[in-house]
Structure 1
């Protein structure tokens, strides 16, 4: 089968010919029909993550096997199943939960695959959706999307789920307490929709793009701030005071610093993005203001099922979707566009 992946120390997207997997046991093989392009894929193409003064976290040094076939927002049609599969059959269309754990540790046993220290995530540790076919290791990781738009449904596996899980970390709050979102791309727009669905009435979006801020207002943001000099002061002015919570979908040194500075006493900052860098925080203020800092990485299978159910009931507004054909050229272009910034919504590649 054709697959589009990267080789070590090479940011070129290669058109690879690799064997088509044959499912066994509870495994399921799907023909890829939709796959979203994510900022995580740009870091994988670059070979790792920026850790500020600690250097770079290298995928190669961590033992990841190349080629890496990326793509973790995948909808596909079941074409073949293992002999122990009971819940799906050929022809079924399913969304893939890609954040797969070892299946043995405490976190996995409790349903928290995304917290597994030995994760086998599709599109990272295992071949993902930038390919003709994807092998899912267990039928339980397949989610029925029914009549949802498959391109939008694909984005729920990462941008949707990531936003949903991050919102879970800041709510409940009183409906009028200010929640600030850094980044109004696909994740930020989804978070706005989820916050409004859950009854929250005070949401401030912060972004470098006027277009993204306009979309944020259309999705229900009650205030917006364009990033620039003294962004923390501009946010506090827009809110009329400090924030109760921040969800940082950028998470670089500048946004993390601003997040800390704008929080009220007892506030929480949830750091989600992987843009990289570092932040220096006064330890005395951390204690005196009782600030809580949390990292959030995607979400659980249970949370994805909850999110898809909300979407199927028509309770979640669509984020903008940019469809392009799935090919080696378009995978490369999508990642180039994400690296350059300014993509409004989410790019989804269609087969």
Structure 2
């Protein structure tokens, strides 16, 4: 089998050829059908996150060892199962979506169903080999979700892009039929969030992005208003909306987007940070209680949320983000396009249809 791995941080992916994996214990081997290309993959290839102020978070110090085969939006056909996988796997050849945000399985977070928050994660495409490969090993069948009836390219993106947007939306409070919601960033995540917010009953949605083409796309997808955060009048427009801005979800995560969101929130508003492009923000602490603001981060989502998301997509017939499918051997080229900002929705790698 071939896989495309980071063998040195800040260097292009390398193709590695090795023996096909043999499943042990509860493991399940998937023949790759699709794997989404995500901004997290860019951070992993570089080996760090930008924390702002000249500071970096080293991924090597966080347990990411080399080589690492990228790719966590994984959809494939069941090819082989370990002797302890049991009948829960179902039939060979079935198309399944893999939940990639796997924890240690033993800590309080894992036992309470929040493996994505485990401090000793074993995530596919991060700590374990991911989907930039012809075959992928999933440690247990409980992480597999049947998607036989869904478009494979669109369904693959649910494991991260869709799940991240859905989990962030689940964290905002208020009345979706009355309150205004701000989505910052109209790329793949923002587009997914816009469609999901409508399906979840949100009526008043404003989308902010500095790119005119992305604002136009957001309008075409049903945003009530679009704003350019760099526009001097954008903050005033947020402050003037009826009932005030109840919540903001930031899919970019820079100093500028944080300031834009925080300045626009009403009293009791909630700011949810998803994006990790880098930056920092200075807050006057007395204003937090005086304005009764809630600041929180949202990191992907848990397994139950992914199952709920797949059900929601199936019931509403949703396609969350436009996809472009390219061959697996174009993984490095796809990452370069994403890095250059030349991707409107989501690139999905394909090995077998």
TM-score by length of 1: 0.95
2:18 aligns with 18
User: Which secondary structure does the structure 1 equivalent of 2:21 belong to?
Assistant: coil
Structure 2 unmatched runs, 5+: none
Considering only aligned residues, what root-mean-square deviation do their CA atoms show, in Å? 1.7
Distance 1:237 1:100 in 2: 41
Moved more, 334-343 or 198-207: 334-343
Aligned pair 1:59/2:59, yes or no? yes
Q: CA shift at 1:210, angstroms? A: 2.1
Q: Deviations over 1:55-114 (max 9, x none)?
A: 111112333210111100010011100112222232111000000000000110011110
User: Which secondary structure does the structure 2 equivalent of 1:118 belong to?
Assistant: coil
Distance 2:10 2:171 in 1: 37
**2:196–2:320 CA contact under 8 A, matched in 1:** no
Q: CA shift at 1:229, angstroms? A: 4.2
Distance 2:176 2:151 in 1: 33
**1:257–1:281 CA contact under 8 A, matched in 2:** no
Distance 1:212 1:339 in 2: 17
1:120 aligns with 122
Moved more, 224-233 or 266-275: 224-233
Q: CA shift at 1:284, angstroms? A: 1.4
Distance 1:115 1:69, change over 3 A: same
1:260 aligns with 262
Q: CA shift at 1:235, angstroms? A: 4.6
Aligned length: 349
Distance 2:273 2:184 in 1: 10
Distance 1:238 1:16 in 2: 56
Aligned equivalent of 1:150, options 152, 155, 173: 152
1:42 aligns with 42
TM-score by length of 2: 0.94
User: Which secondary structure does the structure 2 equivalent of 1:11 belong to?
Assistant: coil
Q: CA shift at 1:234, angstroms? A: 5.4
Distance 1:139 1:54 in 2: 42
Distance 1:345 1:108 in 2: 32
**1:232–1:259 CA contact under 8 A, matched in 2:** no
Structure 1 unmatched runs, 5+: none
Distance 2:233 2:101 in 1: 34
**1:223–1:238 CA contact under 8 A, matched in 2:** no
Q: Deviations over 1:108-153 (max 9, x none)?
A: 0011110101111100011100001100001000000131100000
Aligned pair 1:28/2:28, yes or no? yes
1:200 aligns with 202
Distance 1:249 1:255 in 2: 9
Q: CA shift at 1:53, angstroms? A: 2.4
Q: CA shift at 1:174, angstroms? A: 4.2
User: Which secondary structure does the structure 2 equivalent of 1:246 belong to?
Assistant: strand
Distance 1:265 1:321 in 2: 38
**1:232–1:261 CA contact under 8 A, matched in 2:** no
**1:170–1:245 CA contact under 8 A, matched in 2:** yes
**1:49–1:58 CA contact under 8 A, matched in 2:** yes
